[in-house]
Amino acid sequence: MRLLVYITKRLLLVIPTLIGVSFVCFALVRVLPGNPVYFIVGPYATEEEIAKVKTELGFDRPIPEQYLIYLDNVLHGDLGYAWHTSQPVADDIKQRLPLTIELATISLIITLIVAVPLGVISAVQRGSWVDNIARVVAVVGVSMPMFWSGLLLIYMFFYKLDWAPPPMGAIDLLIEAPPRVTGMILLDSLISGNWEAFGSAISHLVLPAITLALPMIGSITRMTRSSMAEVLHSDYVRTATAFGLPRRTVIYRDALQNALLPVVTMIGVLYGFALGGAVLVEMIFGLTGMGSYSFGSIMNLDYAGVQGVVLLVAIIFVIINLLVDITYAIIDPRISY
Amino acid sequence: MTVVDDVALGDAGRPWWGARLWKRVEYPAYIIRRNPVTLFGFAVVVLFVIVGLAAPLLATHDPTAVSPADALKSPSREFWFGTDQYGRDVYSRVIHATRVDLFIALSSVGLAFTIGTVLGALAGYYGGATDMLLMRIVDVIMAFPPFILAMGTAAALGAGMANIIYVVALIQAPIYVRLARGEILSAKERAYADAARCLGNSGPRIIFGHLLPNCIPPILVQVAVNLSWAILNAAGLSFIGLGVRPPTAEWGLMINEGMSFMLSGQLWLVLFPGMAIFITILGFNLLADGLRDVFDPRLRW
Amino acid sequence: MERLLEVKELQTYFFLRNDIAKAVDGVSFWMTPGEMVGLVGESGSGKSVTVLSVLRLIQPPGRIVSGEVIFQGRDLLRLPEAEINRTIRGQAISMVFQNPSSCLNPVLKVGTQISRVYSVHKKSSAGEARDRALEFLRLVQIPDPGRVMERYPHQLSGGMSQRVMIAMALICEPALVIADEPTTGLDVTVQGQILDLMRDLRHKTQAAQLLITHDLGVVAETCDRVLIMYCGKIVEVGEVGEIYSEPLHPYTDALLRSVPDVRKDFRTTTIPGSVPDPRDPPSGCRFHPRCKHCMDVCRLEEPLLISCQNGRQVACHLLEGDSTRQNQPISSQGEERGRDRTF
């Protein structure tokens, strides 16, 4: 019960932030330099069309009123019209969002599976060869730009070794895509039992997911390592050892539980990174998610699309961070609610 | 400082101008020397700065000189890194791009650091409504995934060097605001702050003359890390077309331009600019790690 | 009586980047079952390092360089780590640290942490361990132990945390309990309570106690014997009453004089100079730069710890060759002390 109250409180606190976010997105389109109408209508419009859009969209009204109109639109699901796809932005996003979420989530899972154990072993066996390799991998992962590593992976695994499929799309062009249930291709093919599609989808998602995961693995490995190292030197670990508790218990129960707490808080940040990085990765691998959509919008000077993506991604990010905070409050007994 | 003081400090034999500075620098210099990895990072950063500053001297060709006859040549003695589809020498472009990225990195981090630290310090020290307002603004900025915000802002402002600097500064500034504010908040409770107040120092003087100088170390490590982020973000933005405009040579932009040729075997267009980014960022990260060790009291035995 | 613990020439050094800090440099002492011994010294004298060495809790850059720690007939320094963990730590010898709040795992309930010490060592069931934990929480006078077991460490006060630690230390009925400054960092009133508790427990359990402190008053109230340490070495050993009335070593004497005396308007005498750096200790007797009675030989030769009668031991050149002199107080102060100290 107290938990529900806490959750409600946090939800309420998030609202001002969301309002701020919406205001920033509004400002990005309307207030900043550049003719906002062009952003909506595109560079090929005629004078009359421009004038019509101006009144239609209320650009002749004062800014605060425009903001309220914008907010009203957004809350009704109207994110504008993307002339380069001839669809409302909201529809475009609905189509493409699941793939990006899928990609980001898979990358995150890969990251946690690889980086956390690596960081822990690294800290426990400081100075060993595992530790040294882990440190090298970590710093290299963090230092490689995603758009470069992705391209290199394609070059190596597709062009040279022919192991990976061509970087075009999430599924082989010749295979029939599964019927759309969630929009996430892996889930959809599982749901419809289409193993061929599932296999193809996996092979298409492997390299993009790894590319996206690499910097995150680097970051989390380092973080886990330093958190674990710090905990291993703490008073309570020393005390547990002084009481003769077996080394294994001390490491994997006491130390690990404490060391992983900061990692949980990072999950939100990582997700934000993954969503941002998805722009680059989708572009390189030809995936039709929100990232490549925003890229396409930019190339076509169709700014309604970009701003729609920015707004939505920000909202998702805020929600994810909220979930992470609540989860953390539950698992750390020192936080009261 | 008198000669007697110098001798008393045991500095006889050190350069006279470096006596006091040497004491401060000695330990970090030791850490850098002792750990070869940190030394490597430091060397890379120095190399980056030198190449950036001396770019015209180090390039072999004019980076913007188009030469269709030489298009898409693989690395050779004449064109060390090969040429791109317009016949421009990739090596020279990479060298000149160093200068561009150096400038962007320093400007954006400088801007973010200055404004962010000052605002954060003021908010932390004076508290109250300004503090709350500033923190709300910071919260809103940090509510966006950094690259997404950069993308949106760059799209709104338009591409170009100046805009990219503002954008990259914007996404970093909140970090400095929070860092400075946090440091000031804890510092202002300490005794030396009270002492300064008792001596009649005014607010700003206390902040900038007394409190901030003691908070600098963790902020410095952040600067080293942020310099590499700035380059990464700038290159990323240029890669998607929202950064520096062609024909300026920029590492991310070069990768974008060379992307389509990779699968016909012309890897050098993508390989070398990317390698430049990678090594530079690696250098900054290794250096930042080393600096972190310097300022970590636990390792100081 | 057979000795419970015998430490012989223990040397624990810390290998720093340019120096070696000889934190414990040739320390020898013993304890008999059931007795309460105080280990006194200033910060940096090596008291904590000594007891950490006994339990082999020294981490790099520190290392136990040589010596013997004979406990119940076995040399602890020569046993494999796994065996020390299994049979000695928490079971035969327990330790209570300072800052009890940071010694408990923040994410585990207090009850879990106490019970598992018992269940791990005695291979008992969870239920048994829990009952035992409750029993010992009552023993350390914690009210409403059932509720406390369900608490998390951050919800306990300093005093409560220390009681919990003491319960943990006693739960397997060890032969020796080492308390490293157990009251430092606690409120003064709570300090008194904890000390009373420890004195009380001494009668209830059979455990010997080694109490480390820099507070002479605490030792006077609670201990049978006291060991005085200075700069990595033991300089005086003896029964509390005797040492306090007739200190033999100049350092002990100076320590006693530095305690504010109510009867003398809180006047104190500080010891001139400062505690030496363990990386670069003075030559010869380590106390010689600060000693009023410093002779030439003190600068050159380290005094050995020699036994006088009654189990008294001193390491001082003043009394060497005078073991026949039998506890002769330091001559120039004899009368003064006799006047002032009515013991």
Check whether residue A62 and residue A108 sit in a common domain: no
Check whether residue A18 and residue A36 sit in a common domain: yes
Check whether residue B14 and residue B84 sit in a common domain: no
- Convert the pLDDT of each residue in C239-287 to its tens digit: 988 888 888 888 888 888 877 766 666 667 777 778 888 888 888 888 8
Check whether residue B159 and residue B28 sit in a common domain: no
pLDDT at C330 over 50: no
Q: How many domains does chain B have?
A: 2
Band the pLDDT of C333: cuts 50, 70, 90: very low
The answer to whether the beta carbons of residues B148 and A313 sit under 8 Å apart is yes
Identify the weakest region by mean pLDDT among B160-164, C97-101, C324-328.
C324-328
Tokens representing residue C179 in the block: 């308390």
Check whether residue B72 and residue B127 sit in a common domain: yes
In a domain, A65, yes or no: yes
Show which of A28, A60, A88 is a domain's final residue.
A88
Asked if the Cβ–Cβ distance from A235 to C102 is below 8 Å, we say yes
Give chain C positions within 8 Å (CB) of A333.
106-107, 152, 154
Q: Residue by residue, what is the 3-state secondary structure of C45-106?
A: CCHHHHHHHHCCCCCCCEEEEEEEEEECCEEHHHCCHHHHHHHHECCCEEEECCCHHHHCCC
Average pLDDT, chain A: 84
Distance from the Cα of B155 to chain A's closest Cα (Å) equals 7
- Convert the pLDDT of each residue in C169-188 to its tens digit: 999 999 999 999 988 878 88
Asked if the Cβ–Cβ distance from B240 to A283 is below 8 Å, we say yes
Identify the weakest region by mean pLDDT among A319-328, B198-207, C24-33.
B198-207
Q: What is the pLDDT of residue C209?
A: 92
Dmax over CA atoms of chain A, in Å, equals: 84
Q: What is the pLDDT of residue B213?
A: 67
Of all residues in chain B, the one with the smallest CA distance to A269 is B145
Q: State mean pLDDT over A248-257.
A: 88
Of all residues in chain C, the one with the smallest CA distance to A261 is C107
In a domain, A178, yes or no: yes
CATH number at residue A140: 1.10.3720.10
Tokens representing residue C171 in the block: 């739960």
Check whether residue B137 and residue B50 sit in a common domain: yes
What Å distances lie between residue B287 and A165, B35, B38, B40, B294, CA to CA? 38, 10, 5, 8, 11
Check whether residue A220 and residue A251 sit in a common domain: yes
The β-bridge relationship of strands C208-213 and A87-88 is: unpaired
Show which of A37, A64, A88 is a domain's final residue.
A88
Q: What is the pLDDT of residue A145?
A: 92
Check whether residue B170 and residue B225 sit in a common domain: yes
Check whether residue A244 and residue A283 sit in a common domain: yes
CATH number at residue B98: 1.10.3720.10
Distance from the Cα of C278 to chain A's closest Cα (Å) equals 23
Q: How many domains does chain A have?
A: 2
Check whether residue B71 and residue B218 sit in a common domain: yes
Check whether residue A173 and residue A47 sit in a common domain: no
Check whether residue A75 and residue A161 sit in a common domain: no
- Convert the pLDDT of each residue in A25-41 to its tens digit: 888 877 665 555 665 66
Check whether residue A67 and residue A155 sit in a common domain: no
Show which of A48, A67, A88 is a domain's final residue.
A88
The answer to whether the beta carbons of residues A79 and A119 sit under 8 Å apart is no
Identify the weakest region by mean pLDDT among A31-40, C101-110, C205-214.
A31-40
Check whether residue A110 and residue A251 sit in a common domain: yes
pTM as predicted: 0.83
Asked if the Cβ–Cβ distance from A28 to B155 is below 8 Å, we say yes
Check whether residue B76 and residue B199 sit in a common domain: yes
Burial of A67 from C-beta contacts in 10 A (0-12 / 13-18 / 19+): middle
Check whether residue B14 and residue B119 sit in a common domain: no
Q: What is the pLDDT of residue A66?
A: 78
Check whether residue A186 and residue A59 sit in a common domain: no
Q: What residues of C are in the A interface, CB distance below 8 Å?
A: 55, 57, 84-91, 94-95, 97, 99, 102-108, 116-117, 120-121, 152, 154, 165, 168-169
Nearest residue to C166 (alpha-carbon basis) of C138, C206, C131, C125 = C138
Q: What is the pLDDT of residue A45?
A: 67
Band the pLDDT of A112: cuts 50, 70, 90: very high
Using a CB–CB cutoff of 8 Å, tell me whether A180 touches chain C: no
Q: What is the pLDDT along chain B (301 residues), one digit of tens a residue?
A: 444 333 334 444 444 444 555 555 666 666 666 777 888 888 888 888 888 888 888 777 787 778 777 778 778 777 788 888 888 888 888 888 898 999 999 999 999 999 998 888 888 888 888 888 898 899 999 999 999 899 888 888 888 888 899 999 999 999 989 888 888 887 777 766 677 777 776 666 666 666 666 667 677 778 888 998 899 999 999 998 888 888 888 899 889 888 888 888 888 888 999 999 999 999 999 888 887 776 665 544 3
> Which runs of consecutive H residues, i.e. helices, occur in chain B?
3-8, 19-34, 36-53, 55-58, 90-126, 128-142, 146-157, 161-187, 191-198, 203-205, 212-239, 251-262, 268-295
Nearest residue to C303 (alpha-carbon basis) of B73, C313, C312, A51 = C313
Check whether residue B20 and residue B86 sit in a common domain: no
Burial of C34 from C-beta contacts in 10 A (0-12 / 13-18 / 19+): middle
ipTM of the complex: 0.85
Q: What is the pLDDT of residue C325?
A: 42
Using a CB–CB cutoff of 8 Å, tell me whether A144 touches chain C: no
What is the rounded CA–CA span in Å between residue B157 and residue A28? 8
Check whether residue A235 and residue A312 sit in a common domain: yes
Check whether residue B10 and residue B101 sit in a common domain: no
- What is the extent of the structural domain holding A44? 2-88
Identify the weakest region by mean pLDDT among A177-191, B199-213, C184-198.
B199-213
Band the pLDDT of C328: cuts 50, 70, 90: very low
Q: What is the pLDDT of residue B24?
A: 59
Using a CB–CB cutoff of 8 Å, tell me whether C16 touches chain B: yes
The answer to whether the beta carbons of residues B132 and B123 sit under 8 Å apart is no
- What is the extent of the structural domain holding B232? 39-299
What Å distances lie between residue A303 and A69, A93, C79, C279, C314, CA to CA? 18, 14, 73, 68, 88
Identify the weakest region by mean pLDDT among A245-254, C122-131, C307-316.
C307-316
